[in-house]
Amino acid sequence: MRTILLLILSNVFMTAAWYGHLKFKSAPLLAAIAVSWLIALPEYALQVPANRWGHGQFTAPQLKIIQEVVSIAVFILFSAAYLKELPRWNDWLAFALIFAAVAVTIGFRPEEPPPALPATTSTPLGEESSG
């Protein structure tokens, strides 16, 4: 639950940073970028621990899918409350498909750990490996 809460909080900051400036289109672009960057800074302070602590309970791909759903849920609320824009029917359908992705990745958790990439031996550039 700690991971999900941190993901929600981090996405509140990121959504405000990415879309909050849309109500201030007369502000200079560089000012919007600077303010957005300052708003986004706490997002990293929340997102990194969420992923660090959540990895193990969830796989990295599961964390990413969960983050996307959290991001969309936060965005829908932000868009309606702050921007006064509601999604259209096709937006809702797209959101539903992403929510379905979470159901697939979380609902069907195989017992075995995810496969690891095979170890490779590297050679310096330009040298052929013998064998």
Q: Where are the domains of the chain?
A: 2-107
* pLDDT value at residue 105: 80
Read off the pLDDT of each residue in 83-110 and give the average, rounded to a whole number. 87
Asked if the model's pLDDT at residue 130 lies above 60, the reply is no
* 3 state DSSP class of 55: strand
In angstroms, how far is the first alpha carbon of the chain from the final one? 51
Predicted structure pTM score: 0.72
Report CA-CA distances (Å) from 31 to 24, 28, 34, 79, 111: 10, 5, 5, 22, 50
Q: What is residue 58's DSSP assignment?
A: B
Angle (nearest 5°) at CA 87 between 85 and 24: 30
